[in-house]
Structure 1
Amino acid sequence: MRGAELVARGTATLNAADVPDAGRDARRLLAHVLKVPPGRLTLFLSEEVDPHLEVAFNVLIERRAERVPVSHLTGRRLFYGREFLVTPEVLDPRPETETLIEAALAEPFGGVLDLGTGSGCILLTLLAERDSAWGIGTDLSPEALNVAFWNRNALKLEGRAALEQGSWYDPLRDLDEVFDLIVSNPPYIAQDELRDLAPEVRDYEPHMALSDGGDGLSCYAEIFAQVLDFLAPEGRLLVEIGASQGAEVSAMMRDAGLRQVTVIQDLDGRDRVVLGRHPAAKRR
């Protein structure tokens, strides 16, 4: 069959399974099978596809119809213009998180701490965008850190990014270091909200990275309780939040002693990031 026919048939299968953006996903999966950039797939749609590749494409379509995320089928996800390795052990990087990246890049920074780094997409993107910056990413999951190590090395950031296993600040106890910027996308989905998530998220992404098992706010409390010990004077803390958590997380930040607390919205107008600053002034 020709590529265009395969895309049409794959799209129909995915539509029948109520997969969102079925046509887009069918094209992405065919581009993956053909090993061509998705943006150039149109050039190949009129050509006949090798039967072995056709079988591979059909298998991927069947898996996608079961709501397996595209990133798990291809092993890759584009984030802020760079490709990252993704596995079931890490959260799938999402466009909404780019709001945090944009906010972080709005001001200069040197040292960055990424709490719960997962795939490393936040830390590594910030370092790739700022040649003079360095950073540390921590994560409780050794499997997630394996993915972050792979992404770090693929981006050739070994010399500027350290990755440490442990809960939040624990790996930093023996380091006499403070950071200009601390970032985190912690588990913020309440336990009773998990059932309402899309199947791609609920059934295939690591629950420990999605939810704290409670009200979705406990991880913020842990991060804020110690943040002033690791944040440089006038340094910034940026955390991603759920769309309904802006007021509560802002209040928690103020109670922890941070100042100039601000809620930042994503491109869809939803509260997405809360920013706070260390209250102490830098020495002039």
Structure 2
Amino acid sequence: MPWPEGQPTVQACLQQAQALGVARLDAALLLGEALKQTRAWLLAHGEYVLTPEQVSLFRGWLQQRAQGVPLAYCLGRREFHGLMLKVTPDVLDPRPDTEALVDWALEVWPKDRSDRLGSPGQPDPSAPLGRLDRSDRSHRLAPGPASASQPPRVLDLGTGSGAIALALKAAHPHAQVHACDASVAALSVAQANADALGLPLALHAGHWWSAVSGLQFDLAVANPPYIREDDPHLAGLIHEPRTALVAAQEGLADLRAIIEDAPAHLVPGAWLLLEHGHDQATAVAQALAGAGFADIGHRCDLAGHTRCTGGRLPG
């Protein structure tokens, strides 16, 4: 459908979006961004006439959204666990469901290594809250376990935009939060987000545990590829990096690889928490048990589906 002639109003822009098949909420978010106004303002100013610059910006985003480009890629950002993150097509669009994995990690957050009088992997009620820790600087630590005076060392495997790692760092700014990814482009996005938020991360390039060879961790989390290669839902995900979505062995290859190598990289008592598909909980739990993990449990997503499974390394 051709774009309306002249300088369209707010109301005309929203009508055009509807004609293109773009959801009204998405259109309102894009239009509000183009005008730097709220949705409430748009509702009250339907006759406002857009400037040529505003029309051009909104039209470009609208055409992308009509083609199925995720809203986060159109705007270049996504809010996740209270943090505003830069998002590009080099990384997955962070989903709200993944916040369940972050919340679980915070529940079992390990104590400082000097304060472990109880069992490892339990919540630390004295851990400081906040986002900024400018005194810390990202660096590769010496191989081997951290000394008893060090804070917990945590790893996000396959970090992408850094969403999970940064959410954990925001909640525990004094922790040593590491993150790895096989994609250098993804690590660049994660670094940009860490810099913008003032939340330093130790970033490592490489595939799963090989990226952090010689290091051991008190907690590890991962949202790896877990979609089957023949999954029909992939048709709706063509704008996101396929390598971050799809795995062999019916979607379980990367999950199994992470679990199999985990014990060599975790200290006794450490937790490994994994996001997976809605029908993979049993297979992931079996793999964890086979690798020697105990206290295996699950967490559900916002729709009530079992989407996270984890366990604790005995010790």
Fold shared by both chains (TM-score > 0.5): yes
Structure 1 vs Structure 2 CA RMSD: 1.8
Match of 1:19 in 2: none
Q: In 1, are the aligned partners of 2:205 and 2:211 still within 8 Å (CA)?
A: yes
Match of 2:13 in 1: 6
Match of 2:202 in 1: 162
User: Are residue 221 (structure 1) and residue 256 (structure 2) matched?
Assistant: yes
Q: How does 1:182-193 map to 2 (within 5 A)?
A: 182-193=220-231
Where structure 1 has 5 or more consecutive residues not aligned to the other structure, the ranges are 16-21
Q: How does 1:84-163 map to 2 (within 5 A)?
A: 84-109=85-110, 110-158=152-200, 161-163=201-203
Query: Could you report, residue by residue, the CA deviation over 1:162-200 in whole angstroms, capped at 9, with x for unpaired residues?
Result: 111001111222x3x32221000000001111x33352x
Query: Could you report, residue by residue, the CA deviation over 1:239-269 in whole angstroms, capped at 9, with x for unpaired residues?
Result: 0010000111100100000001112111211
> Which protein has the bigger helix share?
1
**Percent of aligned positions that are identical:** 37
Other structure's SS at 1:222 match: helix
Match of 2:279 in 1: 244
Q: In 2, are the aligned partners of 1:258 and 1:279 still within 8 Å (CA)?
A: yes
User: Are residue 259 (structure 1) and residue 260 (structure 2) matched?
Assistant: no
Moved more, 100-109 or 271-280: 100-109
Task: Give, in whole Å, the separation in 2 of the partners of 1:103 and 1:40.
Answer: 38
Q: In 2, are the aligned partners of 1:3 and 1:46 still within 8 Å (CA)?
A: yes
In structure 2, give the amino acid aligned to 1:141.
S
Q: How does 1:37-48 map to 2 (within 5 A)?
A: 42=43, 45=46, 47-48=48-49
Query: Could you report, residue by residue, the CA deviation over 1:26-60 in whole angstroms, capped at 9, with x for unpaired residues?
Result: 01111221234667655665533213211321222
Q: TM-score, normalised by structure 2?
A: 0.80
Task: Give, in whole Å, the separation in 1 of the partners of 2:299 and 2:53.
Answer: 48
Task: Give, in whole Å, the separation in 2 of the partners of 1:153 and 1:38.
Answer: 30
Task: Give, in whole Å, the separation in 1 of the partners of 2:173 and 2:87.
Answer: 24
Task: Give, in whole Å, the separation in 2 of the partners of 1:37 and 1:196.
Answer: 33
Query: Could you report, residue by residue, the CA deviation over 1:1-47 in whole angstroms, capped at 9, with x for unpaired residues?
Result: 332332233133225xxxxxx01110111122123466765566553
In structure 1, give the amino acid aligned to 2:221.
V
Q: TM-score, normalised by structure 1?
A: 0.88
CA drift at 1:152? 0.9
Q: In 1, are the aligned partners of 2:278 and 2:306 still within 8 Å (CA)?
A: yes
Say if 1:181 and 1:36 are closer, same or farther in 2 by CA, change over 3 A. Answer: farther
Say if 1:179 and 1:12 are closer, same or farther in 2 by CA, change over 3 A. Answer: same
| Bigger Rg over Cα | 2
